[in-house]
Amino acid sequence: MSRDEWNPRELPDLADRTYLVTGSNAGLGYFASEQLARAGAQVIMTGRNPNRLAAARAAVYRRVPDAATRAAVDTMILDTSNLGSVRAAAATVRSRKHLDGVLLNAGIVHTPKERQTTLDGHELVFATNALGHFALAGELLTTLAASVGRMVWVGSMSTSLTPFDPVDPELVDDYSAWRAYVQSKTATTALGLEADRRLRDAGVPVASVVAHPGYSTSGRTPGIIGVNEPSRMTRFVDNLQAAIAQSKEHGAWPLVRVLVDPSVEGGEFWGPRFITHGEPRRAKASRLTRSREIAERLWSACEDATGVRWPFDRAARVRRR
């Protein structure tokens, strides 16, 4: 299938493929999981809250009637802000011995007004959006390599709107809610691009790709009990932005495409056709996120903060399935 033939509403058959999605109980993560299950994939939905995960899984089965027979949808507790939780979840996934891709989606969008730290002592937004995913991708690298798999990092338009250089990634000295969000997305994009460079240099058969969802809002998104239940006011306000906004269901399209489309290559950056909305197209990451110097600085910071060194040599030698 060529790039021009891709239809996000009718994905290719993904039977016998297994994908892990972080932050699956709502928003982009939920709709990505639903779209994968609709195509017959085995989906591991992850999140922090077991009740919300159960509600999301039930919603997939309601909305995809044949998911119970065509696809297996499992749930797993995974809190990307907690490195212990990341390690435990990764160990469980490794025991399954097959993983075709991981969507590193979980994140805090509505960031706290005051700086908060995790149990591990890291700034909450950076830990949740970037550090946890860096650690998870590293822990799952050999499993992905065995399946010649793919990792997808989630970027944001915000990195072009306000290009903050993350010289202080954990914002010890100058915290603001907006800067915390933008810097975390600068980090995920830069790390995703840097990961692909390092994977290629090491000869590891895993692609690293970055995608962003455009401007996706809950008020433009179908109502789903336990998953997306916006107020009437949210619906009203979000619908006033109909010309530039889209649903989270459509926002998941670029994420899912780069996860499963074999024509997508490692190191690419994708987003909606019209930047804020539309069908997925290849795009260009912001200049800041393409800086090799910034990426190497962030990589070292993540290694120090998580204690995770990606096993490139071992992944390059792993026996492929």
Do 89 and 156 touch, CB atoms closer than 8 A?
no
| 224, amino acid identity | I
CA 89 from chain centre, in angstroms, equals 16
Query: Does the annotation count 215 as an active-site position?
Result: no
Residues 6+ apart with CB under 8 A from 64: 34, 37, 38, 71
Distance between CA 247 and CA 250 in Å, rounded? 5
Distance between CA 130 and CA 119 in Å, rounded? 16
SS3 per residue for 130-142:
HHHHHHHHHHCHH
Annotated active-site residue in 19, 30, 175, 181: 181
Tokens of 158: 């915000």
Residues with catalytic function: 181
